[in-house]
């Protein structure tokens, strides 16, 4: 068993860590405070090839692979978690278009996603009454000549207002519950973007509802075959879950680093609080859990990179890393005490940002369903 990263992966790790520390982390608090979408960060990611990491150079991507992608995402998340989710969904959408799209779709969308030339990628599956039960969506797509006409609404769409292309799941045959995937472009007639949600954390990320009112989408914009939409969504989410797990490890690590730095400075009872065993135990537990999470993430990414099935392992990584990340941030706030609860220090933002990682791209409860189904099949 080899635990070493390749030279290229180490280079990417170092490059992204520097970028996140120097360029993203210093303004993460301001982005959070202003709930501002960090477009300049997305452009910087694009310049370094970090928005098209999962498709080949011949399509405008950087073809770095799932493991390098996971490392890069973790580093970005440690600097600015809002930027990381914008990056994650854009990469997920690019990968799905590469994998399931035809030549025309690849040519049309992939270079623009990788360069941010068309904007970000968005993924619209969830509806007001179809969250965890993703198969129960109600948005319909009815054939009309050389178009499909979409009707319905989507919620919690990351990057929605900044997307150059959105993958939208809709029922093409309602009675048979056949779900198909569509590539919807901004400005499509009947397509509108709702106002941004006011969230607890990840305030710089853009989360919107989308409405489709007799929205006309050319037939050539169907992604994959008719009825293949649910499979496309699940496949995309398998990879996406490695991304969210990586994000949780990155946020958890940032919180732990802040807590350690504070504990070494902060004096009580005549000595730095780092000298107290209660603090040491919290630091040790958080570090151990984050390391275990990292191993699960690496394993899932490695399986994906080597072309093997990784559905169960991605869910294991997601459930463990998101919960470990939450516990690490919780402990970091505890270590900082009153200072952990105010905005002067970053750990209260980390705690708010990490919270959603046990919820989006499949809740912890859904990950446990995926894992147990795979074991008991
Ligand atoms: N890969 C490929 N195909 C898959 C699959 C996978 N991982 N999982 C299931 N499928 C296929 C099955 O093989 C089955 O195919 P057949 O009909 O041909 O047999 C079909 O999909 C239906 O599978 P299930 O019977 O298992 O489906 P289900 O209705 O029981 O649901 C579920 C399974 C795992 C609970 C699924 O609904 C799920 O993942 N729910 C969570 C949804 C989710 O993660 N939403 C997040 C949205 S994105 C987001 O968070 C916002 C963002 O932008 C960040």
For residue 135, pLDDT over 90 is answered with yes
Q: Is ligand 1 within 6 A of the CB of residue 322?
A: no
Distance between Cα 234 and ligand 1 center (Å) = 4
Distance between Cα 300 and ligand 1 center (Å) = 18
* φ/ψ (deg, to 5) at 113: -75, -45
Distance between Cα 194 and ligand 1 center (Å) = 26
Q: Is ligand 1 within 6 A of the CB of residue 201?
A: no
Provide the CATH topology of domain 122-226: Butyryl-CoA Dehydrogenase, subunit A; domain 2 (2.40.110)
Residue whose Cα lies nearest atom 9 of ligand 1: it is 234
pLDDT over 70, % of the chain: 100
3-class SS at 198?
coil
Distance between Cα 11 and ligand 1 center (Å) = 35
Kindly state the average pLDDT of the residues 5-17: 97
Q: Encode burial over 7-41: b for 16+ CB neighbours within 10 A, e otherwise.
A: eebeebbeebbebbeeebeebbeebbeebebbbeb
| pLDDT confidence band for 173 (50 / 70 / 90) | confident
| pLDDT confidence band for 165 (50 / 70 / 90) | very high
Residue whose Cα lies nearest atom 50 of ligand 1: it is 361
Q: How much is the pLDDT for 60?
A: 96
| pLDDT confidence band for 376 (50 / 70 / 90) | very high
Q: Give the list of residues 6+ apart from residue 304 with CB closer than 8 angstroms, or none.
A: 66, 238, 239, 242, 310, 314
The CATH code for residues 7-120 is 1.10.540.10
Q: Is ligand 1 within 6 A of the CB of residue 156?
A: yes
Atom index in ligand 1 nearest the CA of residue 241 equals 44
Q: How much is the pLDDT for 175?
A: 79
Say if domain 230-376 classifies as CATH 2.40.50.1070.
no
Distance between Cα 216 and ligand 1 center (Å) = 26
Q: How much is the pLDDT for 1?
A: 81
Residue (of 60, 55, 108, 85) closest to 223 by Cα position: 108
Q: How much is the pLDDT for 2?
A: 83
pLDDT in tens, 303-346: 999 999 999 999 999 999 999 999 999 999 999 999 999 999 99
d(CA 251, CA 322) in angstroms, rounded, equals 10
**Residue 361 annotated in active site:** yes
Q: Is ligand 1 within 6 A of the CB of residue 123?
A: yes
Residue whose Cα lies nearest atom 6 of ligand 1: it is 234
Q: Is ligand 1 within 6 A of the CB of residue 359?
A: no
Q: How much is the pLDDT for 174?
A: 78
The active-site residue out of 75, 95, 127, 361 is: 361
On average, the pLDDT of the chain sits at 98
Kindly state the average pLDDT of the residues 271-298: 98
pLDDT in tens, 26-76: 999 999 999 999 999 999 999 999 999 999 999 999 999 999 999 999 999
Residue whose Cα lies nearest atom 46 of ligand 1: it is 361
Q: Is ligand 1 within 6 A of the CB of residue 234?
A: yes
3-class SS at 377?
coil
Atom index in ligand 1 nearest the CA of residue 207 equals 53
Distance between Cα 332 and ligand 1 center (Å) = 34
Q: Is ligand 1 within 6 A of the CB of residue 158?
A: yes
For the chain, what are the domain ranges? 7-120, 122-226, 230-376
For residue 261, pLDDT over 90 is answered with yes
Q: How much is the pLDDT for 72?
A: 98
| pLDDT confidence band for 176 (50 / 70 / 90) | confident
| pLDDT confidence band for 375 (50 / 70 / 90) | very high
Instruction: Map tokens 């056949």 to a residue.
Output: 178
| pLDDT confidence band for 130 (50 / 70 / 90) | very high
pTM of structure: 0.97
Atom index in ligand 1 nearest the CA of residue 370 equals 34
pLDDT in tens, 182-235: 999 999 999 999 999 999 999 999 999 999 999 999 999 999 999 999 999 999
Tokens of 237: 């989410």
Q: Is ligand 1 within 6 A of the CB of residue 370?
A: yes
Helix and strand counts by DSSP (H, E) for the chain:
11, 10
Query: Is the C-alpha dihedral spanning 75, 81, 87, 90 positive or negative?
Result: positive
Q: Is ligand 1 within 6 A of the CB of residue 124?
A: no
């Amino acid at each position: 068993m080899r635990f070493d990263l390749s030279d290229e992966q180490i280079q990417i790790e170092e490059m992204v860590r520097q970028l996140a520390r120097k360029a993203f982390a210093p303004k993460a608090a301001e982005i959070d405070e202003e709930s501002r979408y960090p477009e300049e960060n997305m452009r910087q990611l694009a310049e370094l090839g970090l928005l098209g990491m999962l498709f080949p150079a011949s399509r405008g991507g950087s073809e770095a692979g799932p493991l390098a992608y996971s490392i890069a995402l973790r580093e970005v998340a440690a600097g600015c978690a809002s930027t990381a989710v914008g990056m994650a969904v854009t990469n997920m959408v690019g990968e799905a278009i590469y994998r399931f799209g035809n030549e025309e779709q690849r040519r049309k969308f992939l270079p623009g996603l990788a360069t941010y030339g068309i904007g970000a990628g968005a993924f619209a599956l969830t509806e007001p009454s179809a969250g965890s039960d993703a198969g129960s969506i109600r948005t319909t797509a009815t054939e009309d000549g050389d178009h499909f006409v979409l009707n319905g609404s989507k919620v919690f769409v990351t990057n929605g207002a900044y997307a150059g292309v959105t993958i939208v799941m809709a029922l093409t045959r309602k009675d048979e519950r056949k779900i198909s995937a569509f590539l919807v472009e901004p400005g499509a007639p009947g397509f509108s973007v709702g106002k941004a949600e006011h969230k607890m954390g990840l305030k710089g990320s853009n989360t919107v509802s989308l409405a489709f009112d007799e929205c006309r989408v050319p037939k050539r914009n169907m992604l994959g075959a008719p009825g293949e939409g649910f499979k496309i969504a699940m496949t995309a989410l398998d990879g996406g879950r490695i991304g969210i797990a990586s994000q949780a490890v990155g946020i958890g690590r940032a919180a732990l680093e802040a807590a350690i730095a504070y504990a070494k400075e902060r004096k009580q009872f005549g000595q730095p609080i780092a000298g107290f065993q209660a603090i040491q135990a919290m630091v040790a537990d958080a570090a151990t859990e984050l390391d275990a999470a990292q191993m699960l993430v690496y394993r899932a990414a490695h399986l994906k990179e080597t072309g093997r099935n990784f559905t169960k392992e991605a869910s294991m990584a997601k459930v463990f890393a998101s919960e470990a990340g939450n516990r690490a941030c919780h402990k970091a706030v505890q270590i900082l005490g009153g200072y952990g609860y105010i905005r002067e220090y970053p750990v209260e933002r980390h705690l708010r940002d990490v919270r959603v990682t046990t919820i989006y791209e499949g809740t912890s409860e859904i990950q446990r369903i995926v894992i147990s189904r795979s074991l008991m099949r």
